[in-house]
């Protein structure tokens, strides 16, 4: 019986066993949706990708992204990690174009002086879109914080997306470190805001100039906390740029995963374009494991 190769990589880090781990299953066209979801649940990582033939032969691949419970329209670290894996197999690959449910993702491969891939830059598939605001007290209850810890001077907690929606809220630095998600409170928030669907994914941050610290919690989809979330930090950078009407672009170094012992660094640039505010994510990768799956 034929087998499918898989690879795991740590993304948004240059240190093995840091960053956000990702499993990549290549040549996965023979797998149906149910099997892909089961394999992703078996890996039990934030996301697993499955590389299949593109709809447009001019593109590099169609990439299916699954978390532990559902397929996702877009996610940042799966794009960077999948590009890294494919570039490791294809020395000629310097740019990749991925088809994902949220749209087309443009990727630039980063290689070292010896030609080995070391990371990638990813353009999020959609410009920033903003949705409904959320009461600060709801965020505070979800993370078991004093409501005063939710900073509302610059913006209220708000739904934001570049292809995958998150509730983004600013916290004090002390509250960010002390956040402790309550599953019951996340369920209450989901029920109170049904327009956000079943996930109610909460991305919180504190800011020191152009350096941010962030944490992302999505316990209702099986990710209690995520070490590095490209699809949340992209709209975060875009949201911050939108609050500065005189700026055309802004770059941020975003640190995530520190409290988890999996320190990650995401470099994110937001810029204004005729289509809206768009984001580019940049990060490093490290290869970890490889193996085979029997379909």
pLDDT at position 227: 97
Residues 103 and 194 in one domain: no
Print the domain residue range for 13. 4-123+283-293
**Count of structural domains, the chain:** 2
Structural contact between residues 163 and 103, judged by C-beta atoms closer than 8 angstroms: yes
Q: pTM of the prediction?
A: 0.94
pLDDT at position 2: 82
pLDDT at position 206: 98
Distance between CA 278 and CA 267 in Å, rounded?
14
Residues 157 and 56 in one domain: no
Angstrom distances, CA of residue 294 to CA of 30, 31, 35? 11, 10, 11
- Exposure on the CB side of residue 178, measured as CA atoms within 13 A: 12
Distance between CA 77 and CA 73 in Å, rounded?
13
Residues 200 and 220 in one domain: yes
Is residue 259 among the annotated active site residues? no
CATH number of the domain that residue 81 is part of: 3.10.310.10
Residues 250 and 154 in one domain: yes
pLDDT one-digit tens code per residue, 126-135: 999 999 999 9
Return the sign of the alpha-carbon dihedral for residues 150, 153, 154, 159: positive
Q: What percentage of the chain carries pLDDT values higher than 70?
A: 100
Residues 182 and 253 in one domain: yes
pLDDT at position 23: 98
Residues 204 and 160 in one domain: yes
The residue annotated as part of the active site, out of 47, 99, 170, 225, is: 47
Residues 91 and 136 in one domain: no
**What residues of the chain score a pLDDT lower than 50?**
none
pLDDT at position 295: 77
Residues 143 and 74 in one domain: no
Main-chain dihedrals φ then ψ at residue 30, nearest 5 degrees? -75, -10
pLDDT at position 199: 85
The secondary structure of the chain as a DSSP string is ---EEEEEEEES-SSTT-SEEEEEE-S-TT--HHHHHHHHHHHTSS-EEEEE--SSTTSSEEEEEE-SSSEES--HHHHHHHHHHHHHH-TT-SEEEEEETTEEEEEEEEE-TTS-EEEEEEE-SS--EEEEE--HHHHHHHTT--GGGEE-SS--SEEEESSS-EEEEEE-HHHHHH----HHHHHHHHHH-GGGTTT--EEEEEEETTEEEEEEEEGGGTEEEES--HHHHHHHHHHHHHT-TT-SEEEEEEEE-GGGT--EEEEEEEEEETTEEEEEEEEEEEEEEEEEE--
Residues 150 and 275 in one domain: yes
Residues 89 and 103 in one domain: yes
């Amino acid at each position: 019986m034929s087998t499918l190769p898989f690879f795991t990589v740590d993304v948004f880090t240059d240190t093995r066993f840091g960053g956000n781990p990702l499993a990549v299953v290549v040549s996965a066209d023979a797998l149906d949706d149910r099997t892909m979801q089961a394999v992703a649940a078996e890996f039990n990582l934030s996301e697993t990708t499955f590389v299949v033939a593109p709809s447009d032969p001019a593109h590099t691949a169609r990439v299916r992204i699954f978390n532990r419970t559902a397929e996702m329209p877009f996610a940042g670290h799966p794009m960077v990690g999948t590009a890294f894996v494919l570039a490791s197999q294809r020395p000629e690959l310097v740019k990749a174009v991925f088809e994902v449910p949220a749209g087309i993702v443009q990727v630039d491969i980063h290689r070292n002086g010896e030609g080995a891939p070391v990371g990638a830059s990813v353009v999020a598939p959609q410009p920033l879109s903003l949705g409904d605001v959320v009461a600060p007290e709801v965020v505070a209850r979800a993370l078991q914080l004093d409501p005063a810890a939710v900073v509302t001077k610059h913006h209220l907690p708000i739904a934001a997306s570049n292809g995958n929606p998150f509730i983004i809220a600013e916290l004090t630095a002390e509250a960010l470190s002390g956040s402790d998600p309550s599953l019951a409170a996340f369920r209450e928030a989901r029920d109170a805001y049904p327009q956000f669907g079943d996930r109610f994914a909460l991305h919180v941050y504190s800011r020191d100039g152009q350096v941010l610290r962030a944490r992302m919690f999505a316990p209702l989809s099986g990710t209690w906390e995520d070490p590095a979330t490209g699809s949340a930090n992209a709209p975060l950078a875009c949201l911050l740029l939108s609050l500065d009407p005189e700026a055309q672009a802004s770059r941020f170094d975003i640190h995530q995963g520190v409290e988890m012992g999996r320190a990650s660094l995401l470099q994110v640039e937001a810029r204004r374009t005729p289509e809206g505010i768009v984001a580019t994510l940049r990060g490093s990768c490290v290869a970890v494991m490889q193996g085979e799956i029997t379909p």
